[in-house]
Structure 1
C-alpha cells in the first residue's frame, strides 16, 4: 500500500529519512479495525519520529502520522484517537505509564490504511468534514484538554495564548472564542497576529510586549522564549497551562513570583477518548471551522514537512487521499 514513512532515524537531517513509497498491507489483530484513510494531519511529533526521538531504532521503518479520519469496512466515518494504552488500564489514559502513540510502536496514518484498536476509531459527526476531523486527534485535543479540563477558566475571563499560528495555538483561539473567553494572543510577526485576529482573538500583541492588564490563564507551548513573559502576565492566583516547550525545556522558574502570587502551573498532554468525543461534539455544535494552513495530497507530503520545519505554518497541515 502507499505510505509516507521514516526509513530510519536521522537526528541531524530528519527529512533525509522521509520516504514516500510502498509498504506491506497491514494485518488486523482481534479487537482492532482497519481504517481507510481519507485525510491525516501533520504534527511536530512526526518530526521527532524522523529524528528518532521516542522510538526505538528497531521500530523503523515507521509509517508517520498520529492523526487521521477515514472509513471502516462498513462505510462508517471515523476519527482516529492516537493514544493506545494498556487494555487493563482504567481511568484517564493519558496517565497510563504504558500508553503509546501511533508512530511510536504502531504504524501511523500517512497511508492508505491504518490499523487501530476498535475503541480508537471514534465516530465522526456528520457536520465535520474529513479534512477538519483529521486535525482533531492531537493539536485540537491538546487544546481542548488545556482549556476545558486544566485551566479552570469561566466564560468572560481573559486567556493569553503564547504564539499565534501553530496548530495548538489556533485551536485554542477558536475554542476559547467559541466558549466565551476574552482571547489575547502574542505573535512574532504582523502576519501571524493577523491570523489570530481573523480566528477571533480580541487583541494581539508582539511577543514579550507588556500587556494592558493581567490575565486569568496563560497557555504555553513555547517554553524558554516566553516563560518569563507568561509569569509576568498572570494575575495573582492565575494559571499557566503547559503542553510543550518548542523553544527549550528549561525556563527560569521565577519561584518567588510563583509562591508569592500563588500562581498555578498545570501540565497537560494530549487528551482522553472521551475528551475527543466531547471536542467533536463541541466543534459541530458551535460551527467552528478549524484553521487549515496547508492542504496537500499525501504524495506531496515532503512539502508539508518542509513548511513545518521552516516554521511556515498558519494553522494545521493536512494531507489527503
Structure 2
C-alpha cells in the first residue's frame, strides 16, 4: 500500500529519513479494525519520530501519522484515537505506563490503511469534513485536555497561549473563545498574531511582551524560549499547563518565583478516548472547526514536513487521499 514513512532515525537531518512509497499491507489482529484513511494531519511528533525520539531503532521503518479520519469496512466514517493503552485498568489510558502512540510501536495513519484497536475509532460527526476530523485526535485533543481537564479554568477567566499558529495553539484559541474565556496570545510575527485574532483571540502580543494584566492560566508548548515569560505572566496561585517543549526544556525553572507565588505547573499529554468523544460533541454543538493552514495530497507530504520544520504554519497541515 502507498504510505509516508520514516526509513531510519536521523537526529540532525530529519527530512532525509522521510520516504514516500510502498509498504506491506497490514494484518488485522483480533479485536482490531482496519480504517481506510481519507485524511490525516501532521504533528510535531512526526518530526520527532524522524529524529528517532520516542521510538526504538528496531521499530523502523515506521509509517508516520498519529491521527486521521476515514472509513471502516462497512463504510462507517470514523475518527482515529491515537493513544493505545489499557483504559480498563487505569481509567485514563494516558496514565498507563505501557501506553504508546501510533508511530511509536504501531504503524501510523499516513497510509492507505491504518489498523487500530476497535475502541480507538469513534463515529465522525456529519458536520465535520474528513480533513477537519483528521485534526481532532492529536492537536485538538491535546488542547481540549489542557483546557478542560487540566487547567481548572472557568468561563470568564483569562488564559495566555504561547505561540499563535501551531495546531495545538490554534485549537486552544478556538476552544477558549467558545468556552467563554478571555484569550490572550503571543506570536513571533504580525501574520501569526493576525491569525490568532481571526480565530477569536481578544488580544495578541509580540513574543515576550509584557501583558497588561496577569492571567489565570498559561498554556505552554514551547518550553525554553517562552518559559520565563510564562512565569512572569501568570497570577499568583495560577496555573501553567505544559504539553510540550518544542524549543527544548528550560534548566532554569525559576523555582523561587514558583513557590513564592504558589503557581501550579501541570503536565498534560494527549487525551483519552472519552475526552475525544466529548471534543467531537463540543464541535458539533458549537459549530467550531479547526484552522487548516495547508491541505496537500499524501504524495506531497514532504512539502508539509518542510513547512512544519521551518515553522511556516498557519494552523494544521493535513494530507488527503
TM-score (norm 2): 0.98
Structure-2 separation of matches of 1:87 and 1:138: 18
* Mapped contact 1:5–1:62 kept (Cα < 8 A): yes
Q: 3-state SS of the aligned residue for 2:259?
A: helix
Q: CA deviation at 1:40?
A: 0.1
C-alpha spacing 1:118/1:182, structure 2 compared with 1 (3 Å):
same
Counterpart residue number, 1:174: 174
Which residue does 1:118 correspond to in 2? Answer: 118
C-alpha deviation, 1:250, in angstroms: 2.1
Q: Is the 8 A contact 1:197 1:203 kept in 2?
A: yes
Q: Is the 8 Å Cα contact of residues 227 and 251 (structure 1) preserved in structure 2?
A: no
CA distance in 2, matches of 1:178, 1:188: 24
Unaligned runs of at least 5 residues, structure 2 = none
Q: Which ranges of 4 or more aligned residues in structure 1 deviate by more than 6 Å?
A: none
| Preserved contact between residue 141 and residue 279 of structure 1 (Cα < 8 Å) | yes
Q: Does 1:291 pair with 2:295?
A: no
Matches within 5 A, 1:63-142: 63-86=63-86, 89-142=89-142
Q: How many residues align?
A: 321
Do the aligned residues in 2 keep the contact of 1:227 with 1:252 (CA within 8 Å)? no
Alignment of 1:213-228 (within 5 A): 213-228=213-228
Does structure 2 conserve the Cα–Cα contact (< 8 Å) formed by 1:36 and 1:113? yes
In the alignment, what sits opposite 2:315? 315
Which residue of the partner structure matches residue 256 of structure 1? Answer: 256
How far apart are the structure 2 equivalents of 1:271 and 1:318?
A: 20
Deviation, structure 1 residue 190: 0.4
> Displacement, 1:57?
1.2
Does the Cα contact within 8 Å between 2:227 and 2:250 map onto a contact in 1? no
Q: Aligned partners of 2:132, 2:169: CA distance in 1, in Å?
A: 16
* Unmatched tracts of structure 1, length 5 or more: none
CA distance in 1, matches of 2:149, 2:120: 21
Distance in 1 separating the partners of 2:62 and 2:247: 26
| SS of residue in 2 equivalent to 1:282 | helix
Looking at structure 1, the residues matched to 259 and 12 of structure 2 have their Cα atoms a distance apart, in angstroms, of 40
Alignment correspondent of 1:161: 161
Measured against aligned partners, the alpha-carbon deviations of 1:6-33 in whole angstroms (never above 9, x if no partner) come to 1111111111111111111111000000
Decide whether the 8 Å contact of 2:87 with 2:93 is kept in 1.
no
Contact 1:223 1:251 in 2 (8 A): no
- Rounded to whole Å, the distance in 2 between the matches of 1:172 and 1:182 is 12
1:270 equivalenced with 2:257 (yes/no): no
